[in-house]
A and B are shown apart, each in its own frame.
Chain A
Amino acid sequence: MLPPETLVRLREAQRRSAHEQQLLSGRDWILIATCVQLLSALHPLFVWTNVLLLHSPSPVHEKPAIALAAALGLAAALGLLSWWAKYAPFRAAVVAVIAFLATQATVGYFDPGALVSGAIVKSIVLVGLLQAARIGHFRHRAL
């Protein structure tokens, strides 16, 4: 058997490593948010394809081209920020939250209905980004 003091030393070193590993996952939250954001672009892509290629009547009060451009642009921005989070996780997460809220506000200004549609997906993305900011803040502080 291991001497008790050796076991305590091992556990303390392992706890520190496990805590560090948990902090790594802040970047993963931004990656998850990026994937969900990409999936949310499927609906506006479908509507926009129908309108442009199949000449279906455009839905009333909906601007699929704007919604598609916003969703894809935001997904690309989140992808870049997840790469930056490798070096500055807290700043990247905060910028991601601000970018997400600013994009939703802009889209809502042009198309208020877009704020309501896909509210669950938007909530999931926002929760993921806030979680990344929270974890990044832990790393920002001294361990």
Chain B
Amino acid sequence: MNATQPLRTEPADPTPDHGPSHRGGPSALFFAIFCAFSAAGILLLFWREGMRLWAILGAFAFGSAASYACWCLVEHWRSRHITLRSHLVLTGTLAFDIRCTCRDVAATVFFEPDQIAPGATSQLLCFIENYGCRRRIARFRIGPHAPLGLAQATEVALELAPGQAAVYALPLTIAASLPPGEHDLPIELKVDKPNGTGARLPNAPRHLHDLWKVHFAAPFTVPTAADYPPHAPAPLLRPRFISLASASAPVPDLSPLADLIQPPAPRP
């Protein structure tokens, strides 16, 4: 990971980390059982053959791994009553089509508006929501896409409190030389877990696959010049990172999102 300084939302979310710092669950149970059986098997097999040093080394290695997994399970069990709840803004309130999470962070990326006349300005919206009970840092790698003014890939790190939902808006201007048709902006998402993996929040969606890295291709359409005449270049606004919901707040606040979305431009 690069050393890009993480951005905090406006306003900042004060929700602290909750629950265990390790995942636990069926994967940890499987790991504990597998390592325990391996340790016992290696110990008995090598000891019987007279290779006692190898027996002790193998049992120590697998036994340590089994103990670590058992400790994760115990820690997970002791903090099983997590009271924190997610507002499920992306999958519930906004009803977005989310297929997977990236280390417990649900994300979707698209242009608004996605029909952009040559020379006009649009904004890339990166919606993210943390379904984990611990802090996450979402690292987006946007581009490169020279006609959008991204000659090199832009990296941005966004910090999310447990259960927080937020949107990052990046204004972009389409080059007047971009030919009409369908275009894609490649985007890559990785997520850091500075305070451990933790558990998923109890009301988080269970059916979402959890990936280490997610690729997006934000589509946009450049219409023909007959439909939309070329615009004069407008000054770009600064990127914004806005909080939409906090697990500490009783209800999500989508009013900043309404301010962010401009009414559609009238067709000439």
5-29 of chain A: CB within 8 A of chain B: 6-7, 9-11, 13-18, 20-24
- Given known contacts A3-B258, A21-B216, A14 and B110 CB-to-CB distance under 8 angstroms: yes
Q: Is the CB of B258 within 8 A of A20?
A: no
Q: Is the CB of A18 within 8 A of B114?
A: no
Q: How far is the CA of A86 from the CA of B263 in the complex (A)?
A: 36
Q: Which residues of A contact B109 (CB under 8 A)?
A: 17
Q: Which residues of B contact A18 (CB under 8 A)?
A: 96-99, 108
Q: How far is the CA of A17 from the CA of B189 in the complex (A)?
A: 15
- Given known contacts A16-B114, A21-B217, A24-B217, A10 and B184 CB-to-CB distance under 8 angstroms: no
112-143 of chain A: CB within 8 A of chain B: 143
81-105 of chain B: CB within 8 A of chain A: 94-99
**Interface size (A, Cβ < 8 Å)?**
20
Q: How far is the CA of A21 from the CA of B219 in the complex (A)?
A: 9
Contact of B113 among A2, A13, A15 (CB under 8 A): A13
- Given known contacts A18-B99, A20-B184, A20-B217, A13 and B112 CB-to-CB distance under 8 angstroms: yes
Q: Nearest Cβ distance between residue A28 and chain B, in whole angstroms? A: 9
Q: Which residues of B contact A9 (CB under 8 A)?
A: 112-113, 261, 264
Q: Which residues of B contact A3 (CB under 8 A)?
A: 258
Contact of A16 among B94, B127, B219 (CB under 8 A): B219
- Given known contacts A13-B113, A14-B110, A22 and B217 CB-to-CB distance under 8 angstroms: no
Q: Which residues of B contact A22 (CB under 8 A)?
A: 99
